[in-house]
A and B are shown apart, each in its own frame.
Chain A
Amino acid sequence: EAGVTQFPSHSVIEKGQTVTLRCDPISGHDNLYWYRRVMGKEIKFLLHFVKESKQDESGMPNNRFLAERTGGTYSTLKVQPAELEDSGVYFCASSQLEGTEAFFGQGTRLTVV
């Protein structure tokens, strides 16, 4: 069974540009989560989807970040326009139902220069 897959693994963009990160959860997993780790700091929760609906987006830092999950399958996280402080590793996780373990992807390392 394929795990949680994130694309790209690494992205370098200039300040002011737009970047879109993608997460493919494990097939059949209704719950999808986005987390972010800024360099040297803790991993922080961004948001939680249940199917295509945003269940909890309390961790989204500002309106430059837009997360979508069309059709309840894969999810995208767009940063527009990117700022230097957005650099970090973005993790995605998925879980099947309430009451099950979540599985994390390998992360996307975003560098804004």
Chain B
Amino acid sequence: AQSVTQPDIHITVSEGASLELRCNYSYGATPYLFWYVQSPGQGLQLLLKYFSGDTLVQGIKGFEAEFKRSQSSFNLRKPSVHWSDAAEYFCAVGASVTGANNLFFGTGTRLTVIP
């Protein structure tokens, strides 16, 4: 069965510190992987996606994620967090790299950034 696990419900980091948000997936076919962010009052915004090729993908706002097939993981990282990164982050897996049909999302990780 398809599923996504985000083990950390809430993470607090200091501004300027590095960040890693964990994501593990279970998917029966070739996974297409996504990270979305939802800032307060905003819709879900696509940060980055992976479907093939280089396992380290770069996204917007200075984020990157690394696909590790052996660990079924797709962790999101940022070397230096800004206060504006405070938001909720969702990992998702699907059957296509485009559109949004039948994506499986994790439960989300809420990020708090402290001065």
Contacts and interface: CB of A to CB of B under 8 A. Distances in A.
How many of chain B's residues touch chain A, expressed as a range?
20 to 34
Interface of A: 3-4, 31, 33, 35, 37, 40-45, 48, 55-56, 58-59, 91, 93, 95, 98-107
A104 B90 contact: no
Interface stretch (B11-19, B72-80, B95-103): B95-103
Grouping DSSP codes into helix (H, G, I), strand (E, B) and loop, the B interface class, with mixed when no group exceeds half, is loop
Interface string B37-71: 00001111110000000000000000000000000
A42 B43 contact: no
Given A42-B4, A42-B107, A48 B43 contact: no
Nearest to A95: B99
Contact of A104 (B43, B96, B104, B106): B43
B23 to A, nearest CB: 12
Given A42-B4, A106-B42, A33 B101 contact: yes
Contacts of B106: 42
